[in-house]
Chain A
Amino acid sequence: MAYLFNTSEDVHEMLSVIGASSIDSLFDCIPPEARFEGELKIPAALSEIELTRRMEQLASRNQGVGQAVCFLGGGAYDHFIPAVVDALASRGEFYTSYTPYQPEVSQGNLQVMFEYETLICQLTGMDVSNASLYDGASATIEAVLLAMASRPKCSRVVVASSLHPEYRQVLETYLQWTRFELVTVDCPDGNVPLAEWQESLDESVGCVVLSQPNFFGVIEDLTPHAEAAKASGAVVVAVCDMISLGMFASPAQWGADIVVGEGQALGNPLQFGGPYLGIMACREAFVRRMPGRIAGQTEDRQGQRCWVLTLQTREQHIRRDRATSNICTNQGLFALRAAIYLALQGPQGLRETAEQCAWKMHYLETQLAGNERFEVRFHGSSWREIVVRDRQQDVPGVLAHCQQHGMLAGLDLGRWYPEFADCFMIAVTEKRTRAELDQLLQLLVSSSHPTEVAHA
């Protein structure tokens, strides 16, 4: 059988040491009414050759971003992953190891966690980072719960509609079981309107969530928004893109108290949505309630510098129902990949990556100016993503047309925003070339006359 190593001789010897007549007799402790007597309806075992064939067959029915040109974003991005990331992260000593509960034999993982935490602090300007959570959305709800725990008299959480819609859905799911109310400030122009934002704030608001760039790809000056929130006593949670921090000011600079984000773009594959990397960092004041694992520095018996998991008393395995969160695992392997990615990039590499996104986006924006059919929807400062409006209101048709030509051209915004059903969102990473951008523009133009292209 696939990965079982006992020979029949082994089985015989082992049973005699146990004093059992058969393997089946070892299950006598299961009462008859709890026994499953049939055979599972699962296909017969496949050899490696057969399984490989089956997986290749399934894979061939998907159009990966290695085949199609990917302009999809919306919280998951087709950034380049250097070969070194895969080579190092695929070392069995990393990916087949366990949570570092025995620090003496886990110094590799613990040091990586400590380095990862430091890298995230450097990017975000925060004092402390944990060693990762599930993904950007769950990190956001954990940040909200952390913030609200520090404001026990407050009951409201204020977010903008430009926060990732799926993150908002997750907030709703979790908050419906608490006494907290979620208030959403509408962003009809793609920016968080300051007056409405200020109006939504009062002493009942324990925390606000601001994203930079926001879901529409817009970079805003959020300083006044953060200041207003603080003036009303609320904790400021920032949802940030880590690549963008290569060129944009850290969220600490514009007033964030807790920073969260999706770390997929830092050297992690798209893999259809997961596993991803939930990033969370905060100011020192929140550290004793911060969920998740943290690696800290200490000394061993000989006075050598070393690393351990620390502040574990916050966690479920000690505090049980009084833990700050139920989260037990982290995304160790993906935090490792992020650390390797950031080590390879360095400040200059990350800056250039962020800049190329900016310039390529700007190129697209410029080329669209004056287009008869398409216009840029929001007048702000887009970075890696841009919202485009189809004056002819046929977004599905446009996207289908591009798809026929091997381009995943964008996301239909109507999926989340009925008011923007005539819009789609294009993401441009450093991987996209001018030729691909030109081809996309050409396809957009020709989608007004699809039959001509089809015959071309």
Chain B
Amino acid sequence: MRNTQATQLLFELGKPGRRANRLPECDVPAPDLASLYPRVSLRSEPLGLPELGEGDVVRHFTNLSTLNMSVDTHFYPLGSCTMKYNPKRNERLASLPGIVDLHPLQPDDTVQGMLELLYEVQTYFAEISGLPAVSLQPAAGAHGELTALMAAAAYFRDRGEARTKVLVPDSAHGTNPASATMVGFQAVTIRSRPDGSVDMEDLRSKADDQTAVFMITNPSTLGLFEKQIHEITTLVHEVGGLIYLDGANMNAILGISRPGDFGADMMHYNPHKTFSGPHGGGGPGAGPICVRDFLEPYLPVPRVAKHGQTYSLESDHPRSIGRVRSFNGNIGVLVRAYCYIRAYGARGMKEVSQHAVLNANYLLARLKHVLPIPNGDRCMHEFVASASRLKKEKGVTAMDIAKRLLDFGFHAPTVYFPLTVPEAMMIEPTETESKETMDAFVVALETILAEPAENLHHAPSSTAIVRPDEVKAARQPVMRWTAST
């Protein structure tokens, strides 16, 4: 039974005079504030925050939480986003006193345990990537891209090379070209061939002495390992450029293939994907990067270092690009990654990828009979199906299927990405789903595809709301509550 108060806003629930929180009596003298501060600096009007009791707040947010799908409650086959199970133990361990309550500017000798943890997780990241130098500072995958591109730009600047171009495949995440632009590079698109691999001719025609970096996602956003990886890295290195690996899909190759070994010079991880940090409704993530030795001097500061048995944060790196955010990085996320890696160990790491790939191939094998999968019979950790034939024959779109799946208790796959596949539905089960769950998902899809198109156009029918008007939201934007709303 739905609680109708759930969808009222905090502001509508509030009532003057209600309070949730009380502070202790102030135990020092409390002089008139106007005697302490310029009067103009003090707030003259009451602050327009809602006034609520603790019970109001608890019920409100608890009710709101029930309007979400989540990994704890539903299967989330959301390709490229790697929505795997988030271990409860990691949440508890990341919240231990002595872990969660450290001030970022505490003296190094009061945080030796934390620095040891960070130093260790840094060595694991290096080992898994095959790239020796690590920065833990970037706050998200896209922030890692940006940081690495800055390091590359600083490297070329040091060498007196004015390289202007960053090459990005058309199937890449949109953050790649956006990051390149922010560092002052021109983003140049490289075409993909129909099978999803990089079009080598296009690459050959565009890779030249102006090329700073080629950003590649491998395995690709189609869930395919780029077979020409050796030719690509050789070609780019021959013109003096660097290879950046978008690590979004590392879940497929842990302990199986290392970017540093196959020619990447820089990469980022998405610990919230690969190492099971929860996505938190859109964040936080983190974006640690790994680079080759010759790029190490350019990494941002501070960096975690070890001298003898002592750990420290070091900022004395004269060729560093500087600092890319405040303090030390998204430590809470890195702590969870540490716990995750230690819980699996070396062999377990590899098994993660083996089972991620097994699950994806199983789902592919079962779905290919009902939904065309343009890029073949095998995949890595994810695959891209296309609803374009259905659209032509029945007028059913990828979005219709996505919405109808919600009625069957499954989150929708990623739709309309990558841009290179029409009516794309990108599906990634991850290693933490059971065969039973995937079987149920297949049955749901089969049922949906056999339904009259009408059902799909009207879907979902079981959710709190149905097909919100996004055009209206953008054309007549209402982005805050006001009393008249």
Which residues of B (93-108) have their CB < 8 Å from a CB of A? 93-107
Is the Cβ of A31 less than 8 Å from the Cβ of B175?
no
Is the Cβ of B96 less than 8 Å from the Cβ of A59?
yes
Is the Cβ of B96 less than 8 Å from the Cβ of A56?
yes
Is the Cβ of B361 less than 8 Å from the Cβ of A275?
no
Is the Cβ of A332 less than 8 Å from the Cβ of B361?
no
Is the Cβ of A434 less than 8 Å from the Cβ of B466?
no
Is the Cβ of B469 less than 8 Å from the Cβ of A97?
no
B9, B67, B229, B282: the one within 8 Å of A115 (CB):
B9
Binds A, one of B235-243, B331-339, B387-395: B331-339
Chain B min CB distance to A290 (Å):
10
Is the Cβ of B19 less than 8 Å from the Cβ of A302?
no
Is the Cβ of A381 less than 8 Å from the Cβ of B37?
yes
Chain B min CB distance to A289 (Å):
14
Is the Cβ of A271 less than 8 Å from the Cβ of B100?
yes
Q: Find chain B residues with CB under 8 A from A67 CB.
A: 97-98
Which residues of A (363-392) have their CB < 8 Å from a CB of B? 363, 381, 383
**Given A3-B85, A177-B184, A332-B283, CB of A326 within 8 Å of CB of B142:** yes
Is the Cβ of A320 less than 8 Å from the Cβ of B174?
yes
Binds A, one of B57-65, B199-207, B444-452: B57-65
Which residues of A (55-75) have their CB < 8 Å from a CB of B? 55-68, 70, 72, 74-75
Interchain Cβ contacts under 8 Å between A and B, 10 examples: A45-B343, A94-B281, A97-B70, A101-B414, A316-B142, A329-B283, A333-B281, A347-B49, A381-B37, A408-B110
Q: Find chain A residues with CB under 8 A from B95 CB.
A: 269
B83, B110, B344: the one within 8 Å of A2 (CB):
B344
Most buried by B among A115, A262, A299, A408: A115
**Given A18-B362, A36-B257, A333-B283, CB of A91 within 8 Å of CB of B47:** no
- A298 in contact (CB, < 8 A): yes
Is the Cβ of A128 less than 8 Å from the Cβ of B480?
yes
Q: Find chain B residues with CB under 8 A from A29 CB.
A: 224-225, 227, 378, 380
- A258 in contact (CB, < 8 A): no
Is the Cβ of A321 less than 8 Å from the Cβ of B178?
yes
Is the Cβ of A34 less than 8 Å from the Cβ of B326?
no
> Is the contact region of chain B dominated by helix, strand, or loop, or is it mixed?
loop
B139, B256, B326, B467: the one within 8 Å of A35 (CB):
B256
Is the Cβ of B9 less than 8 Å from the Cβ of A345?
no
Is the Cβ of A122 less than 8 Å from the Cβ of B49?
yes
Which residues of B (254-286) have their CB < 8 Å from a CB of A? 255-258, 261-262, 276, 278-286
Q: Find chain A residues with CB under 8 A from B1 CB.
A: none
Q: Find chain A residues with CB under 8 A from B327 CB.
A: 75-76, 135, 166, 272-274, 276
A19, A70, A320, A353: the one within 8 Å of B365 (CB):
A19
Is the Cβ of A109 less than 8 Å from the Cβ of B61?
no
**Given A95-B278, A308-B470, CB of A78 within 8 Å of CB of B261:** no
Q: A96–B68 Cα gap in the complex (Å)?
A: 10
B26, B105, B258, B466: the one within 8 Å of A300 (CB):
B466
Is the Cβ of A105 less than 8 Å from the Cβ of B68?
yes
- A216 in contact (CB, < 8 A): no
Q: A95–B7 Cα gap in the complex (Å)?
A: 20
Most buried by B among A42, A91, A342: A42
